[in-house]
Amino acid sequence: MSTSATGTVLVTGSTGNVGGAVVRHLLDRGESVGSGVRNLDEAGVEPGSEPRLFDFENPSGWGAALEGVDRLFLLRPPAISDVKRHLLPFIDLALERGVRHIVFLSLQGVQVNRATPHHAVEKHLRDRRAPFTFLRPNFFMQNLSTTYATDIRDRDEIAVPAAGARTAFIDTDDIGCVAAHVLTESGHLGRAYTLSGEQSLTYHDVARMLSAELDRSIRYTRPTPQQYTELLRERGAPEDYIAVQSMIYRVVRLRVSALPNRVIRRLTGSPATTFAQFARRERAAWNRPDTTRATN
């Protein structure tokens, strides 16, 4: 049952993988969408949406960004760690302005990981008795086509400290599809959805599937946590990034990310994207220039 109205949906993080997918799927469902951007000339704004100046670190522009907005997709930018200063006051203003549904992109396992900024945001929304829905996704498939693309493209390797643990990877496009359904249908207020793919894969599995798609051998090098930390330091990664990455893969090794589910299928009516489908769609991210020329 649709609950969409004449109001606009404001999407924060609108030019990223998840936010962009949310905007696309909302537009497909005929919604009025405001794409929150820090610069009106910012690249990547989805055609058909309305660019709106928005910056979590500039409260003076929040009111204008919320004009006519009745629903909100809330995404914490990685650079924003002080949510008490930058996110929670924005939530309060959105509620004061009459926003009737806030869909927050949270984190898998956040309910038992009190150290994450996502936990503080969830707690605030509960304490305010806000009209929320939490989306708690598993590892993004897109991590492999962005963060780890250089290793795969240039070195034919995946170097992450996941040991032999499995992960039920999720396509960010599926997250966008879920968010669009949740924001336009009834029955989701006060709910928290753990979003996983329907396959549980080791990184050896991922390497094998990428090898098949790219027609060259991709290896999973299986570094230890210490080796991975040293590798990141050698590449100039800041210590806070290293700490976050170490925490993420500790969770993976504990098998928290291993369980697949069919929540995406249940909420959208379509099965989750398989990793093979994703690899076929995104293969350009790992193609070498000489390979690209040879196939054109």
Q: Is residue 3 part of a domain?
A: no
Q: What CATH number did the domain enclosing 31 receive?
A: 3.40.50.720
Count the domains in the chain. Answer: 1
What's this model's pTM, rounded to 2 decimal places?
A: 0.92
Q: What is the percentage of the chain residues whose pLDDT exceeds 90?
A: 82
Domain assignment of residue 54, yes or no? yes
pLDDT value of residue 200: 98
Phi-psi region of 13 (alpha: psi -120 to 50; beta: other; left: phi over 0): left
Residue 164 lies in a domain: no
Helix ranges (H only) for 98-166 are: 117-127, 142-145, 149-155
Q: Domain range for residue 65?
A: 8-139+172-195
Distance of CA 140 to the CA centre of its chain: 6
The rounded distance, in Å, linking the Cα atoms of 117 and 125 is 13
Give me the percent of the chain exceeding a pLDDT of 70.
Answer: 96
Does any domain span residue 65? yes
Kindly tell me if the per-residue pLDDT of 93 is higher than 70. Answer: yes
106: three-class secondary structure by DSSP: coil
Q: What is the pLDDT of residues 214-273, one digit of tens each?
A: 999 999 999 999 999 999 999 999 888 888 788 889 889 999 899 999 999 999 999 999
| Per-residue pLDDT band at 293 (split at 50, 70, 90) | very low
Contact 133, 192 (CB under 8 A): yes
Asked whether residue 134 is assigned to any structural domain, the reply reads: yes
Summarize pLDDT for 170-227 with one digit per residue, the tens: 999 999 999 999 999 999 999 999 999 999 999 999 999 999 999 999 999 999 999 9
Task: Dig out the tokens for 44 from the structure.
Answer: 């990547």
Whether 98 maps to a domain, the answer reads: yes
Which of 77-81, 122-126, 216-220 has the weakest average pLDDT?
Answer: 77-81
274 burial class (0-12, 13-18, 19+ CB within 10 angstroms)?
A: middle
User: Does 248 map to a domain?
Assistant: no
Distant-in-sequence contacts of 90-98, Cβ < 8 A, 24+ apart: 90/56, 90/59, 90/62, 91/121, 91/124, 91/125, 91/128, 91/130, 92/128, 93/59, 93/62, 93/63, 93/66, 94/66, 94/69, 95/128, 95/130, 97/63, 97/66, 97/69, 98/70
In a domain, 83, yes or no: yes
